[in-house]
Amino acid sequence: MDNREEVREFLTSRRAKISPERAGLPAGPRRRVPGLRRSEVAALADMSVEYYAKLERGSLAGASPAVLEAVARALQLDDAERAHLLHLARAADGSDALTRPRRRTTTRPWTPHRSLQWTLDAITAGPAVVTNGRTDVLAANPLARAFYTDLSANPDNRRNLARFNFLDPASRRFYPDWELFADMAVAMLRREAGRDPHDKDLHDLIGELSTRSYAFRTRWGTHDVRRHGTGTKRFHHPAVGDLTLAYESLDLAAEPGLHMTVYTAEPGSASEEGLRLLASLAATENAAPAVRHPAG
């Protein structure tokens, strides 16, 4: 993904989302573009039209923090969008057209250190997983392994939530609010693409999903970004039925770029009982003795 093109499309898409009324400006007659004009964004950001047009053409290299903050304020960017703009600016400074771009890198295999796995295993009331920005599931507690049984059942998913979401039909059963999950998955991948534009594995994943999924391809073009923080999601598990779970996602200080997400149910709810049943089923399955076949 070319950084200039990414910058141009991101800023253009954000500008199109801000109406004059929302920005406190008169709409006026004969508006030919959705949202704000470049001249209006420039005025709101207190800069010349020529300079803002240069930024929107993708030339973020050398833009000062004050300039980026002014653009973010004029476009009313939320926290995730603001962070994405800063990531794009850093990438532009590192791969300016006058310098040689950095080589794309492939992520090395990663396994959790013992204390992290112990921490995951100590969480017994809800599923807990460690993921990266590509939505790869890298580590999990026993309840999470039982929870994501559909993800693991198909080896083509390669333990990647975005691939499961868009390429595995089982995801539409597992996610009753499939459209919401699809939007979130794409927005998180878009954010990661801005944070680490040289990740070859991420490029390969985006290319695969863009080629194989129309639903992904159309969402990717919106340039929406999202941070996976906190909220509530609905699931339908094949063994225990409907679950409504709250989640909290925490950055791992010792592992930059990785996140731990813990799902919990409201105390006394049917979903809490469902998680207890799932934990019991998982424990029974794990404790079952191996079947020995007679020799010969």
pTM of the model: 0.81
pLDDT attached to residue 33 = 74
In a 13 Å sphere around the CA of 155, the CA atoms on its Cβ side amount to: 0
pLDDT attached to residue 196 = 86
The structure tokens listed for 211 are: 């080629």
Backbone angles phi, psi at 268, to 5 degrees: 80, 0
Q: What CA–CA distance (Å, rounded) separates 158 from 70?
A: 42
What structural domains and CATH numbers belong to the chain? 3-94 (1.10.260.40), 114-287 (3.30.450.180)
The structure tokens listed for 35 are: 């949202």
* DSSP, res 255: S
pLDDT attached to residue 68 = 96
pLDDT attached to residue 2 = 57
113-152 tens-digit pLDDT: 999 999 999 999 999 999 999 999 999 999 999 999 999 9
Residues 6 or more apart whose CB falls under 8 angstroms from that of 84 comprise 10, 190, 191, 194, 195, 225
pLDDT attached to residue 105 = 54
Low-confidence ranges of the chain (pLDDT < 50): 1, 95-103, 290-296
pLDDT attached to residue 106 = 54
pLDDT attached to residue 99 = 36
